[in-house]
Amino acid sequence: MSVRVLARVWDGFDGGGSDLLALLALADWSDDEGRCFPSMSAIAAKTRLSRSQAQRVVHGLIDGGHLQVVGNEFGGAPGATRQYRIVLSSLSGRMGATPTGRMGATGSAHATGSADTQDGSHGCAETGRMGATQTVSEPSLTVKGGAQARLASSRRSRSEEITLAQFLENCKTSGEKAIPEDDPVMEYAEKVGITNEMLAVAWAEFKAAYLPTSKRYKDWRQTFRNAVRRNWYKLWFLAEGQVAAWTTAGEQARRAAA
């Protein structure tokens, strides 16, 4: 624990609620440089949040520039613990800030959505939190305008679809891992008894199936989650009260990936 970092968070972070609680929890684990490496499950337990809520809060802190990922996400095997660094320079202090009510349009972490909203909500996590400005778009007044908007949206959606090779290259460029430690597939695998080694072999089979093709998806992580949930490659089987065990195809794939 770093008393110095804890003090900086208390005095310098201009957010509140679950954001503040999570940043204090990370500070409690950190060294004097703000570095720490708790698992997402540990963060959830310490902040009294569900794992999915803790993920959204942590991602919000990253989006807001208060937290950085500085190490291991999905290296040789799934489940590697992330390493974080609290960005001390972002803790500029709350004094002199102009307060606004919850309904204000700017200057509040609650103005455009909060990281600790109920699962499935859509706050401002996609566009950044602190000081975000909420814009209300008026609906189209003509049928023609609405059709044009839908056509433009459809074109944008198609243009966002990429191949697996492009997705992996984008991850490499941005310093992200293809399947991060806090991806929902990890929680699902733990719940049903699929081991980390099985996930790693499934990922190898997934890449072998898609890298040579021109198949395009907008969300390759979700496609991999589907592959695991539905056991596309028949790598494991489940028996009542037991963890997953290798099938013949799974054992063959495991040996090939070794």
* Range(s) within the chain of domains with CATH label 1.10.10.10: 3-90
Residue 223 CA to residue 164 CA, distance in Å, equals 10
Q: Give Cβ neighbours of residue 182 (< 8 Å, ≥ 6 apart).
A: 40, 51, 55, 58, 82
Amino acid 97: pLDDT: 41
Q: How many CB atoms sit inside 10 A of residue 233's CB?
A: 19
pTM beyond cutoff 0.75: no
Whether the CB-CB separation of 65 and 48 falls below 8 Å is answered with: no
Amino acid 64: pLDDT: 86
CATH no. for 3-90:
1.10.10.10
Amino acid 40: pLDDT: 86
Instruction: Return the ∠ at Cα 88 (arms to 82 and 92), rounded to 5°.
Output: 140
The pairs formed by 231-236 with CB atoms below 8 angstroms and a separation of 24 or more are: 233/202, 233/205, 233/206, 233/209, 235/198, 235/201, 235/202, 235/205, 236/194, 236/198
Amino acid 141: pLDDT: 40
Closest among 48, 40, 36 to 87, alpha carbons compared: 36
Amino acid 98: pLDDT: 40
* Residuewise pLDDT in 10s, the chain (258 residues): 778 888 889 888 888 888 988 989 998 988 988 889 888 888 989 899 998 898 899 998 998 888 988 876 444 444 456 788 999 888 875 443 443 333 343 444 343 444 344 443 333 333 344 444 444 444 444 444 555 655 555 555 556 899 999 999 999 999 999 999 999 999 999 999 999 999 999 999 999 999 999 999 999 999 999 999 999 999 999 988 888 999 999 999 999 988
Amino acid 144: pLDDT: 47
